[in-house]
Amino acid sequence: MPLETKLWKIITGPFQLPENQIVVMPTGSVSVPEYTLDSLDLRLRDFEVRQKIKERWIEASKANPRLTPGLKFRLIDEPVRATDAHSAEVIRFKFGITDYGIFVATNSAARKDAEFAQYLMENGRVFYNDPHAYFSNPMGNCAVVESVDGKIALIKRAETMHEYPGFYDTPGGHPEPKQHTFDTKGQFDAIKDEVSEEIGIPVESIEEARIIGVTTNLENFGKPDLLFHLKTGLKGDKMSVSEEVSAVEIMDKNELYAHFRNGTRNIVPPSQALLAAYYSLQAGYELDFLRNKK
């Protein structure tokens, strides 16, 4: 069955591919395509849309002076499945750059204002033939982190978080171009760093890392996430709460599956997609219950 609900959709996967089967393609120019506050006047064709996005950022930054427009990766087009010269499956990605300022002024603002969301989507169709063209949609990541004794970490987001406060999640975040390189290694390094920060395990303890899919968050205008499965050589009791999260629950895969199936944990859409991809690759787990979520 297709892995999707009204909240999320897996656009590529599920599969289990290590780093050497993931390819980040060149963008075809010296400079990476940008969609940032600094490049708005060059990037967007429509003056009125540019001004409205700038206004939303100014409003948000006045309301919260601590906001900073840090750079993020942006997925360009859907990933492409192919085979390499040795007939091995590979997934090819193209990345650009966006920033948190554009995210706040588009994705976040539009989720709070249906009229503004409709305005952005209608103009995206007119100018770019894409209803999501004006949304920042930074590339996120999240991971099923499995310990040597078969335990998996589920985290709880702080009530102060900008998005999904108090929801359950899996470890992850957003790769940042200033910290992680514009290649495959950069994306794998990013998820390892995020996991280390959020559940307190050393990067060196991660013995296996695979991408198992790519999802888009349908209630957040198609915002994408890379889905990972990581294995650590540590036991589950070494995963612990950090300053990044408000709580960590450590459970085996059957207990986590029961929460996922029964809805007894309020899990964010990208992590729902991650769990769907993960359990579709495990023997003995059915996902027919997802039909009821459409």
pLDDT at residue 86 tops 90: no
Kindly state the tokens that stand for 279: 């359990």
Kindly state the tokens that stand for 165: 């406060």
Burial class (CB in 10 A: 0-12, 13-18, 19+), 148: middle
Q: 3-state class of 54 per DSSP?
A: helix
Q: How far is CA 75 from CA 34, 71, 184, in A?
A: 11, 13, 13
- CA dist 275 and 278 (Å) reads 5
In percent, how much of the chain has pLDDT > 90? 81
pLDDT tier at 159 (50, 70, 90 boundaries)? Answer: confident
The CATH number of 8-21+138-293, from 3.90.1300.10, 3.40.50.300, 3.40.630.30, 3.90.79.10, is: 3.90.79.10
Domain extent listing, the chain: 8-21+138-293, 24-128
pLDDT tier at 25 (50, 70, 90 boundaries)? Answer: confident
Q: What pLDDT does residue 49 have?
A: 93
Burial class (CB in 10 A: 0-12, 13-18, 19+), 259: middle
- CA dist 198 and 136 (Å) reads 24
pLDDT at residue 97 tops 90: yes
Average pLDDT (36-58) is 89
Q: What is the DSSP letter of 33?
A: P
